């Protein structure tokens, strides 16, 4: 579904991404980890065509370029929410996820509204349906934007630290939801994560970045090692296996 070949990107004279190569197959749940400034968010922005590479090729489902509406029918992105400067209701914001599927000036139909309501129910935002999004907390707003993403019904979801503002309850619920979409619907997910334990719990594969390059990639257990974390993050950790889930746990 996603293939990156020899990707290089710079802001002015500063090189941010250096010779990035990887492939994500349909239906995989892949995490991107690494310290601040390692190029994780810039990589996502290149994949979703917000930024244009200086060099290299990115293929989404076998194609190198999409018109914005065409790409939005296939791919959705959820990032850390920033300042909100508009008074749309939660319902209006979530329904924006159906925009790529509507003709110009076409109104949302009954099916679109039902999809939006199901997405709000799944993210525990249905209770806010008529409230202006400006009246919600940062965590509540983030769940609304996740609901908008689900309403888009994409084949690929890019996540850029989507749970930063969420309490532990909603953080686990949201990732369980993404995991279910991945396992049951075959949605391909690529997520930037700072929480190594979330990465271990939900991701089948990891890409570990350092200084704009891929330091290690592969199965989660092969990437999430004491040696790799010490070399990239500069900290000593203990890694154990959770007896219940069988996943690795990183102790700082």
CATH number at residue 61: 3.40.50.300
Quick one: pLDDT band at residue 81, thresholds 50, 70, 90? low
Residue with tokens 């089948």: 204
Residue 84 has what pLDDT?
72
Q: Is 105 exposed, middle or buried (0-12, 13-18, 19+ CB in 10 A)?
A: exposed
Q: Is 140 exposed, middle or buried (0-12, 13-18, 19+ CB in 10 A)?
A: buried
Residues 162 and 66 placed together within one structural domain of the fold: yes
Domain boundary among 151, 186, 207: 151
Question: What distances in angstroms separate CA 247 from CA 25, 198, 238, one per listed residue?
Answer: 22, 10, 14
Residues 135, 139, 142: CA angle, nearest 5 degrees: 90
Average confidence (pLDDT) over 4-15: 94
Counting residues of the chain whose pLDDT is more than 90, the rounded percentage is 87
CB 174 within 8 A of CB 166: yes
Q: Is residue 229 part of a domain?
A: no
Residues 107 and 127 placed together within one structural domain of the fold: yes
Residues 136 and 169 placed together within one structural domain of the fold: no
Residues 69 and 161 placed together within one structural domain of the fold: yes
Domain boundary among 151, 174, 204: 151
Q: Which domain holds residue 178?
A: 1-74+154-220
Domain boundary among 124, 151, 178: 151
Residue 73 has what pLDDT?
94
Residues 107 and 215 placed together within one structural domain of the fold: no
Residues 66 and 11 placed together within one structural domain of the fold: yes
Residues 128 and 20 placed together within one structural domain of the fold: no
CB 147 within 8 A of CB 118: no
- Averaged pLDDT of the chain: 94
Q: Is residue 171 part of a domain?
A: yes
pLDDT tens for each residue of 146-204: 999 999 999 999 999 988 888 999 999 999 999 999 999 999 999 999 999 999 999 99
Residues 94 and 132 placed together within one structural domain of the fold: yes
Residues 62 and 90 placed together within one structural domain of the fold: no
pLDDT tens for each residue of 110-131: 999 999 999 999 999 999 999 9
Average confidence (pLDDT) over 64-71: 92
Residues 1 and 69 placed together within one structural domain of the fold: yes
At 200, list the tokens.
């271990």
Angle between helix 138-151 and helix 110-122 axes, rounded to 10 deg: 140
Distance between CA 167 and CA 37 in Å, rounded?
A: 25
Q: Is residue 98 part of a domain?
A: yes
Residues 2 and 31 placed together within one structural domain of the fold: yes
Q: Is residue 8 part of a domain?
A: yes
Residues 143 and 159 placed together within one structural domain of the fold: no
Give one word for 213, left, alpha or beta, with left for phi > 0 and alpha for psi -120 to 50: beta
SS3 71: helix
Of residues 104 and 126, more confidence is placed in 126
Q: Is residue 143 part of a domain?
A: yes
Q: Is residue 95 part of a domain?
A: yes
Q: Flag whether pLDDT at 85 surpasses 80.
A: no
Our count of domains for the chain comes to 2
Quick one: pLDDT band at residue 82, thresholds 50, 70, 90? low
Q: Is residue 232 part of a domain?
A: no
Q: Is residue 212 part of a domain?
A: yes
């Amino acid at each position: 579904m996603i293939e990156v070949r020899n990707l290089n990107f710079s802001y002015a004279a500063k090189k941010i991404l250096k010779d990035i190569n990887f492939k994500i197959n349909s239906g995989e749940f892949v995490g991107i980890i690494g310290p601040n400034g390692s190029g994780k968010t810039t990589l996502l922005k290149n994949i979703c065509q917000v930024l244009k590479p200086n060099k290299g090729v990115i293929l989404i489902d076998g194609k190198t370029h999409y018109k914005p509406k065409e790409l939005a029918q296939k791919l959705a992105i959820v990032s850390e929410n920033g300042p909100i400067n508009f008074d749309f209701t939660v319902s209006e914001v979530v329904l924006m996820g159906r925009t790529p599927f509507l003709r110009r000036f076409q109104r949302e139909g009954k099916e679109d509204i039902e999809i939006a309501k199901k997405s709000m129910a799944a993210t525990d935002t249905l209770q806010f349906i008529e409230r202006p999004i400006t009246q919600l907390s940062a965590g509540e707003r983030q769940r609304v934007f996740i609901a908008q993403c689900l309403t888009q019904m994409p084949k690929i979801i890019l996540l850029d630290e989507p749970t930063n503002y969420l309490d532990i309850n909603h953080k686990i619920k949201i990732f369980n939801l993404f995991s279910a979409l991945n396992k049951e619907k075959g949605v391909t997910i690529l997520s930037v994560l700072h929480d190594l334990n979330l990465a271990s719990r939900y991701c089948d594969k990891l890409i570990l970045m350092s200084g704009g390059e891929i330091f290690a990639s592969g199965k989660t257990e092969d990437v999430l090692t004491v040696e790799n974390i010490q070399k990239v993050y500069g900290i000593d950790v203990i890694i154990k296996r959770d007896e219940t889930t069988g996943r690795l746990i990183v102790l700082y």
